[in-house]
A and B are shown apart, each in its own frame.
Chain A
Amino acid sequence: MLSWLRMLIAKCLGVARRRVDDEAFDEEVTLHLQLLEARHRERGMTHEEARREARRAFGGVQQLREAHRDATGFRWLTEGRQDVAYALRMLRRQPGFTAVAVLTLALGIGANTAVFSVVNAVILRPLPYPQPERIERVGWDWDGRSKPTGALAPFKFDYLRRSSSAFEALTTWQFLVLDSGSHGSGGPVNVLRVSNDFFRVVGSIPSLGRAFTAGDYSSGGVAVCLLTHRAWSARFGRDPRVVGRTLIVDERPLLILGVMPRTFEFPEVTEPADVLVPLVLTPDPRDLGANVPALGRIRQGITREAVESDLDRVFTQLRRDRPEQFSAPAERAVLVSFEDLYLADVRRPLWALFAGVTVVLLIACTNVANLLLARGTTRVREMAVRGALGASRGRIVRQGITEGLVLASIGGLCGVALGAAGVYALVDLAPAGISRLDQVRVDAVVLGFTVALVTVNGVLFGLASTQIGGRGWRAGPTSLTTRGSSTSRGSRRLRQAMIGLEAGLAMVLLVGAVFLVSAFYRLTHTQLGFDPQRIVAVTFRRTPPEYRSPDRIRVTEQALRERLTAVAGVRGVATTSVAPLGERGHNIPITVDGRPDATEGAVEWRAVSRQYASVMGLRLMRGRWFSEEDAAAARPVMVVSGSFAARYWPDGNAVGQRVWLGVFRGQRRPGGTDVAHEIIGIVDDIRDLGPTRPMRRTVFIPQTGTAALPALLVRTEGTVSVETLRAAVAEVDPSLPEPTIATLETRLATRLTRERFSSLLMTTFASVAVLLTAIGVYGVVSWIVRHATHEIGIRMALGATRSLVLREMLVRALVPVCGGLLTGGAVSLFASGLFSGLVVGATAVSIQVTIAAAAILIAAATVAAFIPARRALTVNPAVALRAE
């Protein structure tokens, strides 16, 4: 053992000192030859004779030098180089085989690389903070049952910040998109407003200039900001003299204090920030509405449990002091991890896609192994020759593995190129709002993963090809004369098993794809309660400061409505505070007049114009819709959705009842009304947040003076171009911000991006899987037919009909396929949980889905088997028998 180790060290040293060693060796040899020569001369030989005799006695210097090199270095290093060259030569000699194998591998490895790089960036990579394990989000558990939210009331946040002993610092933030430059000339900027301990929590400070100080948070001071590296590069060309200049954001000049380092990231917001500005909290105990997120840095050495008990202590105290701040006994602050908040919805779909793509790779590998097996049978002779010439078994296996590695490496290289391109496609296709998706790239970790894949593949391929070739080596020279048919049966079984495996794997993917596509189809055909066809939504991303008064809004709204109604092809125009099928709604608390217990914290709330019902195509169930007078007289009236009415008036007499808006458990929230609204009508339920979100109880009130630009809904009859609408808006008031114009169908499609992404990807994987399986079946059947020519000839000579022979050939391929299919089908029924998170509403795989998937797979396999099987019919018995 020890001497073995010593040898290894000596050899490694030998490799390292190759030149010095060679020189010393040459010196020794030269001396030896000279001494020999001198000795012969002393015995009376001539100069020439002595030299010849010395060389003869010494032996071949060149051979000796090589032997010496072998002894001082590694033989396999040299042999490895030879093997690689040989493998490349073999691949070049069979371009068809090489192209199919490399392409198959590149597809499998490329898809894996792409999906893994997404998994790596979004899920696996640690958070970008120093000591990230000390960073925790504080969330709120509202009732001890449902998922905690990642935000709490500003008053509670402020109380926690001042009373907690477990956190070194706690911060909160707000993310908004505002216009920059005067009159929005600088385009939108992503603004991150951060409270004062932000920099201590994230552990990052500006690389240029300074961070915010207490003075920057006091009102009345100069408005200031920090640039992120991204904005500094894009807007200021990384000018180091940027500190002290101003940037106009939302029509306000902000003094630039500094620039954040390039490494600064804040994944809590899904879009990269451009500008950081101070966020001043005004904790109003009455403000239970807009909750704020909280991120804290835990003190060194404090456990999670200790932090949680500290949270409990703090809020038990608050509950004692201000019981009105709490509505449920189980309400409490909890730690919520970044993962739970941002990755809960993403993690499962991503792992499922990764599993899917891994299955594709497995099928690809099986196919390549199958190809190698086919080639292995033809190489039995070659192996036999090599064995006969003295190659050891280990040597042949090593060469096989080298060949496998070379093949896998070429496939891997192409795969990485494909994967790098695929990553961009994936990120483009992926739904918005996935944290850190912008950081997806093929990096060292991803490459390491790919190298691991290639290595495992290469070794397996090598073993697969030498598995067969090895028989030739064992059989020795005898197999040079036999026709190799003795190996047929065993390898036929092996190859049939492999297409069975492929079919099983493909079946699992196919069931998943059919399942997701059918769920997606159901989603796109959900009844929304309104008719999204032929409605165009005109929305404004922001309201410029000069418009933020109810009067200005009212005038602008009316002018816009009138102008757009006049556009040719427009049948009606309505306005609403929340455009349908957007990212979020707007909810408020309510209390039924005279029934303090009939109260809830969040019903959807829409302030709409009189035309809303007709433009949207709402169905009135009871009572009436708003009239012209309701708005003119500013009557406190409301229309409610069917489910709202049913919840509080199950006996159906909701019309005429009164409801307080903005009041919850006897407390009026900011923005709550002074009078209760009277219900004048009930409309059918609508799902204006899209089919993926649960049905919400909704109330409508007449559009009154709000301080924000409403959205316009335009119902068209003919075709109305976006440009026409845009021009009409600009005509009303050129200083209005550029509106976003999209049909409701487009907006609906946007709401389904995630579902479409999952089903599209799964369908792609499944199609590739089916295609590869079909190729595998095709390959195996043509191989079987080729090797059974003799047998077919005999049977046909003995009177077998053509259809019988054809059936026989098909059965040989389809029996293993059906076996795999049954297994795969059973697996996917049990593994349905894997797919269920991918599309809303897809819960359990049904038998119908499984049958549909099986039908597709059998059809593909039959076609793939039929084409080569037909060739069996062309066998001429006489020729086949003579071919012996």
Chain B
Amino acid sequence: MDHGQPEVLQGTLDLMILKALDALGPLHGFGIARRLEQVSGGVLHLNEGTVYTALVRLAQRGWISSSWGVSERNRRARFYAITRAGRRQLAREQRGWQQIAGIVERVLRLAPEK
């Protein structure tokens, strides 16, 4: 069911959403999409719809919660907030990423052997 390559993207997307909610507090789907666009500096191109798939996944794991509220234009919107379990998960993933990033960096910095 799960195939190698999308897994990485999926994990990355989940991590980015958790981080956004952690930093900015409750957001609706559109707000999250804007935040992702902003932090990636427009480099990350993804269908904004996939955000919603990720949100369902995160909610099912209990890492985020949602409630209905009113958006800036007075429209009913669903707001998502990170939960305590979500923060723990975020911390875990951050550590994991930093480790990998460190390893990759060291590997890339190695001089070719003579």
Partners in one complex: yes
Could you tell me which A residues sit within 8 Å of B by CB distance?
3, 6-7, 10-11, 24-25, 27-29, 31-32, 34-36, 38, 57-61, 64, 67-68, 71-72, 75, 390, 392
- Most chain B beta carbons < 10 A, residue from A25, A36, A57, A61: A57
Q: Given the known A-B contacts A60-B49, A64-B53, are A27 and B60 also in contact in the complex, defined by CB atoms under 8 Å?
A: no
Q: Does B12 sit within 8 A of A, measured CB to CB?
A: no
Q: Indicate if the CB atoms of B30 and A36 lie closer than 8 Å.
A: yes
Q: Does B62 sit within 8 A of A, measured CB to CB?
A: yes
Q: Indicate if the CB atoms of A68 and B56 lie closer than 8 Å.
A: yes
Q: Indicate if the CB atoms of A29 and B52 lie closer than 8 Å.
A: yes
The smallest C-beta distance from B60 to any residue of chain A, in angstroms, reads 4
Q: Indicate if the CB atoms of B49 and A71 lie closer than 8 Å.
A: no
Return chain B residues, CB-CB under 8 Å to A25. 52
Q: Indicate if the CB atoms of A31 and B77 lie closer than 8 Å.
A: yes
Q: Does B84 sit within 8 A of A, measured CB to CB?
A: no
- Nearest to B61 among chain A residues (CB) is A3
Between A and B, 9 residue pairs with Cβ closer than 8 Å are A3-B62, A7-B60, A25-B52, A28-B77, A31-B75, A32-B29, A32-B52, A57-B47, A67-B53
Q: Indicate if the CB atoms of A36 and B48 lie closer than 8 Å.
A: yes
Q: Given the known A-B contacts A10-B59, A24-B78, A71-B57, are A35 and B30 also in contact in the complex, defined by CB atoms under 8 Å?
A: yes
The smallest C-beta distance from A763 to any residue of chain B, in angstroms, reads 53
| New A-B pairs, 8, CB < 8 Å, besides A3-B62, A25-B52 | A3-B61, A10-B59, A28-B77, A29-B52, A32-B33, A35-B30, A61-B49, A71-B53
Q: Indicate if the CB atoms of A10 and B48 lie closer than 8 Å.
A: no
The residues in B between 55 and 114 inclusive whose CB is less than 8 angstroms from any CB of A are 56-57, 59-62, 71, 73, 75-78
Return chain B residues, CB-CB under 8 Å to A32. 29-30, 33, 48, 52
The residues in B between 21 and 59 inclusive whose CB is less than 8 angstroms from any CB of A are 28-30, 33, 47-50, 52-53, 56-57, 59
Q: Given the known A-B contacts A35-B30, A68-B53, are A57 and B48 also in contact in the complex, defined by CB atoms under 8 Å?
A: yes
- Nearest to A70 among chain B residues (CB) is B53
Q: Does B9 sit within 8 A of A, measured CB to CB?
A: no
Chain A contact residues, majority secondary structure: helix
Q: Given the known A-B contacts A71-B57, A392-B1, are A64 and B30 also in contact in the complex, defined by CB atoms under 8 Å?
A: no
Return chain A residues, CB-CB under 8 Å to B61. 3, 6-7
The residues in B between 1 and 29 inclusive whose CB is less than 8 angstroms from any CB of A are 1, 3, 28-29
Q: Indicate if the CB atoms of B60 and A6 lie closer than 8 Å.
A: yes
- Nearest to A30 among chain B residues (CB) is B75
- Nearest to B46 among chain A residues (CB) is A59
In whole angstroms, what is the CA distance A11 to B60 when docked?
8
- Nearest to A21 among chain B residues (CB) is B56
In whole angstroms, what is the CA distance A36 to B47 when docked?
12
7 A-B pairs with the lowest CB-CB distances in the bound complex, closest first: A59-B47, A59-B49, A64-B49, A10-B60, A35-B30, A71-B56, A32-B30
Q: Indicate if the CB atoms of A71 and B48 lie closer than 8 Å.
A: no
- Nearest to B89 among chain A residues (CB) is A3
In whole angstroms, what is the CA distance A3 to B57 when docked?
11
Return chain A residues, CB-CB under 8 Å to B73. 35, 38
Q: Indicate if the CB atoms of A28 and B52 lie closer than 8 Å.
A: yes
The smallest C-beta distance from A389 to any residue of chain B, in angstroms, reads 13
Return chain B residues, CB-CB under 8 Å to A29. 49, 52
Return chain A residues, CB-CB under 8 Å to B59. 10
Q: Indicate if the CB atoms of A31 and B56 lie closer than 8 Å.
A: no
The smallest C-beta distance from B94 to any residue of chain A, in angstroms, reads 19
Q: Indicate if the CB atoms of A64 and B52 lie closer than 8 Å.
A: yes
In whole angstroms, what is the CA distance A241 to B33 when docked?
81
In whole angstroms, what is the CA distance A3 to B63 when docked?
10
In whole angstroms, what is the CA distance A10 to B76 when docked?
24
Return chain B residues, CB-CB under 8 Å to A61. 49
Q: Indicate if the CB atoms of A58 and B60 lie closer than 8 Å.
A: no
In whole angstroms, what is the CA distance A34 to B73 when docked?
11
Return chain A residues, CB-CB under 8 Å to B53. 64, 67-68, 71
Return chain B residues, CB-CB under 8 Å to A75. 1
In whole angstroms, what is the CA distance A72 to B59 when docked?
10
In whole angstroms, what is the CA distance A345 to B3 when docked?
64
Q: Given the known A-B contacts A27-B76, A392-B1, are A71 and B50 also in contact in the complex, defined by CB atoms under 8 Å?
A: no
Q: Indicate if the CB atoms of B78 and A68 lie closer than 8 Å.
A: no
Return chain A residues, CB-CB under 8 Å to B28. 28, 31
In whole angstroms, what is the CA distance A34 to B3 when docked?
33
- Nearest to B68 among chain A residues (CB) is A24
- Nearest to B31 among chain A residues (CB) is A35
In whole angstroms, what is the CA distance A103 to B53 when docked?
48
Return chain B residues, CB-CB under 8 Å to A60. 47, 49
